[in-house]
Structure 1
Amino acid sequence: ELKRYEEAITAFDKALSLKPDYAEAWSNKGATLNELKRYEEAIAHFDRALSLKPDYAEALSNKGIVLNELKRYEEAIAHYERALTLKPDYAEAWSNKGVTLNHLKRYEEAIAHYERALSLKPEIDWAHGELLHAKMKICSWDHYQ
């Protein structure tokens, strides 16, 4: 959260040296590697987390974020869908899928996903802007004042 990524990686490596089967540390290190744009390494870390904990919705969604960055949109959507099957109230997966749908110009679907995410967790502040932007692309002015 402090954007001290190298220190975070060192801390995750220490945790993993103590507990190599710690799926959350693998996933969190993957998220940190994503922030550093080390995408292939991030994917490998999410895969390791998922091999330890196959029903780990957060790792699935976070891997989807990396796949989206790599413009592997259909794979990203599949990961979000799997995460949402496991955890239907996972607001971040709804909003992340909305981002990918937006990239694919599937605006109405993206809007529905942003709205679902915000209904579950209104404090995802960036999703409000994404929702408005997607609505503007299809000239949907309802609830816009």
Structure 2
Amino acid sequence: MLEKRYDEALAAYEQAIALNRMSSGAWIGKGTALNNLARYREALGVFEIACSMSPLYATAWVGKGNSLAGLGQFSEADSAYEAALQLDPRNSMALAGKSKNLITTGDPDTALQSLELAIAADPTNLALLTRKAEIYETLGRYQEALDVWNSVAINESDPDLARRGKAITLVRAGKKDEALALFREVLALNPGSGILYEQYGDVLALSGDTAGAENSYRKAMEIQPNLTGIVLKIKALESVQKETPLGIFPILSGFFIGYVLLSRRRG
């Protein structure tokens, strides 16, 4: 599963650093693996080292931006992405990071424009194409989003990503049962995946089942304690249950929980 591959990558980069602590590429690789594992605080420390070692390396600044965004520090993340773009104005991942921040902070139309620039710079980048599907979903253009998630290219390259994205879109389109069925089937086959339980929790939360979402998040933490972003998702759910005003807890891990809070506040 994905978390196993990320753990293996992390171990490999740590070994590379042990052999050569001056390898900025190894530090960047370690930081990227930590970001993929949602260990954003650790990743930020690693990217601070990478940026100090190689301040002219745009990839290091992008990684730092991703860590900061994962921690909910969106303004600081945007500054890191801007530093990357100063070095490489067509850096697709910096543009994509800025786009994701704009989604999280509630400006999806501008986010789509930023993402189109990123795709123009890197038209074959699968991550950018799937981000575009997420923005379509945010804008309520559900069929366009589903067309992206259902594409052969995405499903063959990263079926986990396609499943989660499609499920989120289905929920937003009012097709909750179809969305939940996607995860029940795959969890029956892969009961030891913490990331799958976290994603299932996202879908349950968006569906309005806060108790089920919390149970799924806690199951994910039992399986993989290093998924630290889940703690913030649980706090967000608790704020919903207590009808705490939006914003008292930073929503650090994905904008889908933000949807839940926004929906409750508007209700």
* Fold in common (TM above 0.5): yes
2:131 matched residue in structure 1? 127
- Aligned twin of 1:92: 93
> When the two structures are aligned, how many residues end up with a matched partner?
138
2:74 corresponds to: 73
Local SS of the residue matching 1:4: helix
The correspondence of residues 1-145 of structure 1 with structure 2, limited to 5 A, is: 3-123=4-124, 124-136=128-140
Asked if the contact 1:118–1:127 (Cα under 8 Å) also holds between the matched residues in 2, the reply is no
CA contact under 8 A between 2:112 and 2:132: conserved in structure 1? Answer: no
Output the amino acid matched with 1:69. G
User: Percent identical across equivalent pairs?
Assistant: 35
Whole-Å separation in 2 of the counterparts to 1:78 and 1:5: 27
How far does the alpha carbon of each residue in 1:39-63 deviate from its partner, in whole angstroms, 9 at most, with x for none? 1110111011111101121111111
Give the superposition deviation at 1:135.
4.5
Farther-moved stretch of structure 1 (18-27 vs 7-16)? 7-16
CA contact (8 A) 1:27 1:46 kept: yes
> Does the CA-based 8 Å contact 2:108-2:135 persist in structure 1?
no
- Partners of 2:81 and 2:87 in 1: how far apart? 10
| Deviation at residue 134 of structure 1 after TM alignment | 4.9
Q: For 2:106, what is the secondary structure of its paired residue?
A: coil
CA deviation after TM superposition for structure 1 residue 130, in Å: 3.2
Aligned to 1:141: none
**2:19 is matched by which residue type in structure 1?**
L
Greater mean alpha carbon deviation, residues 85-94 or residues 8-17:
8-17
Shift of 1:114: 0.7
Where does structure 1 differ by over 6 angstroms across 4 or more consecutive aligned residues? Answer: none
Higher mean alpha-carbon deviation, 74-83 vs 128-137, is at 128-137
- For each residue in 1:87-137, what CA deviation from the matched residue of structure 2 results, as whole angstroms up to 9, or x when unmatched? 111111111110001111123321221110111112232133134235448
Query: Offset of 1:73 from its aligned partner?
Result: 0.6
Asked if the contact 1:114/1:131 (under 8 Å) is kept, the reply is no
Query: SS of the counterpart of 1:31?
Result: helix
The amino acid that maps onto 2:78 is: I
Could you tell me which runs of 5 or more consecutive residues in structure 1 were left unpaired when the two chains were aligned: 138-145
